[in-house]
Structure 1
Amino acid sequence: MLNPIDSDAVIRDGCIAGAFPGEIHEGVAWWVGACFVVVHEARRLAVAYDGHPTTAAFHRRLCQGAINAQHFGCLVCDLGTADEDQLHRAMKHLGGVPGVFLSTADDGGRRTVSIRLYDALGQPVTEDTGIAKVRQMIAADQVPLPVNERAKGRITDRRDLVGAP
């Protein structure tokens, strides 16, 4: 694994979170995107972020990881900048797909990046519903790669869904 992390410290309590730089880096988002698609066997995924400049890099990497997850050919519906309520509405509008929300909190110069995962019902992913498996895959360096170019997914701009009732 290039640039390993302390997966037990960063992937816990139903969230992937850590100080940036230091505990977490943009590559973690790629790993999480790929592993989440595989664990939930997601063919579609809604992704949104808070618009923070630090979060933007994590957002791009997560989307890239999600489209590179084994044979799933995941269609990533990129909502761009949105809040969690808008993400949940879009997940429902898309027919009940899993979702990811990325955010950064600034606290006196310390930035903490968080990645929250939601199942197709809009419920936070917990230890029992996928976080433990994602952590295990990352810790064991079992990040899923696409089986071939045809198996690769794609990213589609769905900012049109932000603000939809």
Structure 2
Amino acid sequence: MLFPIDTAAVIRDGGAVGRSPADLHEAVAWWLGACHVATQRTSVMAVAHDGHPVSRRFADSLLSGAINAEHYACLVRDLGIQSEETLVQALTAGAIPGAYLTADGEATNCLIRITLYDRRAVPVDEETGLAEVRRRIAEDRVPIPVNARSKGRVVRTLGDHGEEATP
């Protein structure tokens, strides 16, 4: 990772938590997205955030990482601004993993929390993927696509109007 982080300190409690930019930066979200897809071995997941400008930036980075995970060609459903409860309902209905991002504070000293969920819509713990995500990031194991066909795509959910693929 270009700007290393203290993985043991920030990758905990079901995902990652820390101050941006001191503890976490947007590249960490990319890594979390890619590693979460790889450790959950999924080809579909959903992501939502609270609408804060910082969580929105981190969500965009996480989406980019999730579509660039090894051979999974993951279809990532970008739910945009939603409550965590709404995301959990979507995960439960689809039996898919996901991520929820929140931020609190000013852009220069913002507490960011990225919660990773498994297929049961439960935050991941050490046994269900968090330890593996932390290890991959600490060892700088880039989970990039193995070939062009392996790259996934983001689909933005447009409420009752369906979905729109993003390039």
TM-score norm. by structure 1 comes to: 0.92
In structure 2, the residue matched to 1:150 is 149
What is the one-letter code of the residue matched to 1:130?
G
2:22 corresponding residue in structure 1? 22
CA distance, structure 2, for counterparts of residue 131 and residue 83 of structure 1 = 23
Q: 2-side partners of 1:20 and 1:33: how far apart?
A: 17
AA paired with 1:115?
A: I
1:149 shift after superposition: 1.2
Give the secondary structure class of the aligned counterpart of 2:105.
strand
Counting aligned pairs with the same residue, the percent is 47
Contact 1:91 1:98 in 2 (8 A): yes
Q: Secondary structure, in 3 states, of the residue corresponding to 1:3?
A: coil
Structure 1 counterpart of 2:124, one-letter code: V
**Residues 26 and 61, structure 2, Cα contact 8 Å, conserved in 1:** yes
Distance 1:13 1:44 in 2: 23
Over 6 Å off, 4+ runs = none
TM-score normalised to the size of structure 2? 0.91
Q: What RMSD in Å do the two structures reach over aligned CA positions?
A: 1.3
Q: Is the 8 A contact 2:46 2:99 kept in 1?
A: yes
Code of the residue aligned with 1:142 in structure 2: it is R
Q: Which amino acid aligns with 2:60?
A: R
In the alignment, the residues of structure 1 paired with residue 92 and residue 11 of structure 2 have an alpha-carbon distance, to the nearest angstrom, of: 26
Asked if 2 retains the 8 angstrom alpha-carbon contact of 1:13 and 1:127, the reply is no
Aligned residues: 159
**1:6-85 superposed matches below 5 A:** 6-85=6-85
Question: SS in structure 2 opposite 1:37?
Answer: helix
Structure 2: unaligned runs, 5 residues or longer = 161-167
Shift in alpha-carbon separation, 1:46–1:123, aligned structure 2, 3 A: same
Contact 2:14 2:117 in 1 (8 A): no
Q: Does 1:141 align with 2:150?
A: no
Which residue is 1:120 aligned to?
119
